[in-house]
Amino acid sequence: MKKVLLLGAGYANMKLLTSINKEIFSQVQWTLINNTPYHYKTIALHDVASGKHNRSVLFPLKDVLDRRIEIIEDYVERIESHTVIAKNGSYEYDYLIVGLGFSSDSFGIPGVVQYTQSITSYNSAREIQDKITQALQRYLQSKEINDLSFVVCGGGFTGIEFVGSLAQELKKQCRSIGIDFSLVKIYCIEAMPKILPMFSENLMHVALQKLTELGVSVLMGSKILECRQGCVVVEQNGKQNEIFANTIIWTAGVKGNEVIANSPFFESARSKVAVDEWLQPTKLNFTQQDSHTQEILESIPKLHNIFIIGDCAAVKDEKTGRFYPPTAQISAKQGEYVGQLLETLFHAQKTNQEIQKDSLPKFEFEARGSICSIGQGYAVGVVNNKEIKGFSANCLKWLIESQWGFALNGLGGVFRAD
Ligand SMILES: Cc1cc2nc3c(=O)[nH]c(=O)nc-3n(C[C@H](O)[C@H](O)[C@H](O)COP(=O)(O)OP(=O)(O)OC[C@H]3O[C@@H](n4cnc5c(N)ncnc54)[C@H](O)[C@@H]3O)c2cc1C
């Protein structure tokens, strides 16, 4: 039996495994490796980090996936031409689907790795939540004002969703433990002259006003030069400033998963693999022993055995010539697409048909829009080229996001409690 190995239980691979024709599970051996026994809703991690949500974003893999899929909890370290090397063992494959998601990008700015924390996984978001609570508790003892100062680096989508949620949750936490919220300082630092660059000036101003109401100081055009213990050094209008805070969260950039950069088998940039229109790597670096495999790949226009999906894939939008931004929306679509390709491939193998790559549909994607929440009950966004804002935008976001939980776990996946 052919072995299909999937790496990462994120949006891309979960969509693949839940949308594929179930008959195929008995024709091929399916194995999923993930570093946790659950799938988490990455798009809600800012609310986990702020303390608004907790376990409601988790979906145990054994509850939501077909029982015929072998689930292995392991940490992938490196990918080679026929083997995946992980912490607890190595795994062979005939087909490999890489969906390991993203990691934080410090852009080489000094101190980011040492002195800031990033929202990159459920566990990292929980650590941030704990750090925030600890800072408030420490303040009660020490009255050290920097324990009440919080800096969010980056005014993109994740930074704004997080800082909005943080402002609201801090207010609640301060009230419950007796800290005067007016003493709390919350900064959001952005190097560009505007936040949320994907939206219009108009929507940006709506977002700015809402953040100000929530008590967030947004510093635009402020380039982060360095992060230190308890301090962020910024340059604004040619002048250097220090912003003091004992909690610094880095949301200023993401790249693909480090596993990609650690695998010389792939040609990568910023830990992402450049893929073709069928989501297959455009180049693979084979060793001498694998020269036979390489010859096969190069001589026939067939699908080969590796697909890269989700945030690890660098996919170009042929219309604009630019890479698609990493989103759950495109990741899920890629998972669904590769699932369909595999169905066609395995059906062809069963009926002894040859498939030419060119005859297969290419990956296409049209974003439906995006909605950025700014605290509970408020959002701004663009859907079907129309700008939306306020409570209705927030409801629409909730509805769209709930569909994911519903698809995985029925109504139990929509109304989950922490
Ligand atoms: C706070 C936040 C808000 C966001 N909001 C939105 C939004 O509103 N809309 C939107 O479309 N996108 C949003 N995004 C982006 C979106 O979440 C990502 O683009 C999407 O999750 C990528 O999906 P993926 O399948 O590639 O990987 P992920 O969903 O990140 O999943 C990767 C999986 O791989 C596992 N893994 C990672 N490394 C290893 C390893 N070494 N070994 C084993 N397993 C490993 C992880 O545990 C995880 O299960 C948001 C992102 C963040 C952080």
Residue 316 has pLDDT above 80, yes or no: yes
Residue 159 has pLDDT above 60, yes or no: yes
Residue 190's identity, in one-letter code, is E
Do 248 and 227 meet the contact criterion of CB atoms below 8 Å apart?
A: yes
Measured from the Cα of 335, ligand 1's closest atom is: 25
Minimum mean pLDDT range among 298-302, 304-308, 338-342, 346-350:
298-302
**What percentage of residues in the chain have a pLDDT greater than 70?**
96
Report the Cα 331 to chain-centroid distance in Å.
Answer: 9
Residue 120 has pLDDT above 90, yes or no: yes
Compute the average pLDDT of residues 325-349: 95
Query: For atom 20 of ligand 1, which residue has the closest CA?
Result: 328
Among 88, 100, 121, 370, say which to mutate for ligand 1: greatest number of ligand atoms within 8 Å of CB: 100
Residue 301 has pLDDT above 70, yes or no: no
What does the buried/exposed string (b/e) look like for 300-327 if buried means 16 or more CB atoms within 10 Å of the residue's CB?
eeebbbbbbbbbbbbbeeeeeeeebebb
| pLDDT interval class at 318 (50, 70, 90) | confident
Give the pLDDT of residue 292.
58
Residue 118's identity, in one-letter code, is S
- The response to whether residue 259 sits with its C-beta less than 6 Å from ligand 1 reads yes
- The response to whether residue 271 sits with its C-beta less than 6 Å from ligand 1 reads no
End-to-end CA distance of the chain: give it in Å, rounded.
41
Q: What is the largest distance, in Å, between two alpha-carbon atoms of the chain? A: 74
The pLDDT tens digits of the residues spanning 244-267 come to 999 999 999 999 999 999 999 999
Domains in the chain, CATH or no CATH each = 3-35+74-104+255-352 (3.50.50.60), 112-253 (3.50.50.60)
Measured from the Cα of 401, ligand 1's closest atom is: 8
Measured from the Cα of 8, ligand 1's closest atom is: 34
Measured from the Cα of 33, ligand 1's closest atom is: 43
Q: How many A from CA of 75 to the centre of ligand 1?
A: 16
* Active site residues per annotation: 161
Give the pLDDT of residue 295.
54
Measured from the Cα of 162, ligand 1's closest atom is: 1
Compute the average pLDDT of residues 124-130: 98
Residue 289 has pLDDT above 80, yes or no: no
Q: How many A from CA of 42 to the centre of ligand 1?
A: 5
Nearest CA to 6 out of 371, 229, 310, 344 is that of 310
| pLDDT interval class at 409 (50, 70, 90) | confident
Q: How many A from CA of 10 to the centre of ligand 1?
A: 6
Token duo for residue 143:
């009255």
Give the pLDDT of residue 213.
98
Mean pLDDT of the residues in the chain: 94
Give the pLDDT of residue 365.
96
Beta-bridge partners for 3: 29
- Give the HSE-up count for residue 252: Cα atoms under 13 Å, Cβ half-sphere: 27
| pLDDT interval class at 302 (50, 70, 90) | low
Q: How many A from CA of 288 to the centre of ligand 1?
A: 35
Give the pLDDT of residue 287.
76
Q: How many A from CA of 309 to the centre of ligand 1?
A: 11
Compute the average pLDDT of residues 137-166: 98
Among 327, 388, 398, say which to mutate for ligand 1: greatest number of ligand atoms within 8 Å of CB: 327
Nearest CA to 6 out of 372, 293, 307, 285 is that of 307
The pLDDT tens digits of the residues spanning 354-408 come to 888 889 999 999 999 999 999 999 999 999 999 999 999 999 999 999 999 999 9
Minimum mean pLDDT range among 86-100, 275-289, 365-379:
275-289
3-state secondary structure 347-401: HHHHCCCCCCHHHCCCCCCCCCEEEEECCCCCEEEEECCEEEEEHHHHHHHHHHH
Do 281 and 124 meet the contact criterion of CB atoms below 8 Å apart?
A: no
Give the pLDDT of residue 240.
97
CB atoms near residue 123 (< 10 Å)? 12
Compute the average pLDDT of residues 308-320: 95
Among 14, 43, 118, say which to mutate for ligand 1: greatest number of ligand atoms within 8 Å of CB: 43
Minimum mean pLDDT range among 69-78, 254-263, 299-308, 399-408:
299-308
**Number of helices (H), then strands (E), in the chain:** 11, 26
Give the pLDDT of residue 103.
98
**Helices 11-19/391-409 angle, 10° precision:** 50
- The response to whether residue 257 sits with its C-beta less than 6 Å from ligand 1 reads yes
Do 286 and 79 meet the contact criterion of CB atoms below 8 Å apart?
A: no
Beta-bridge partners for 382: 370, 387
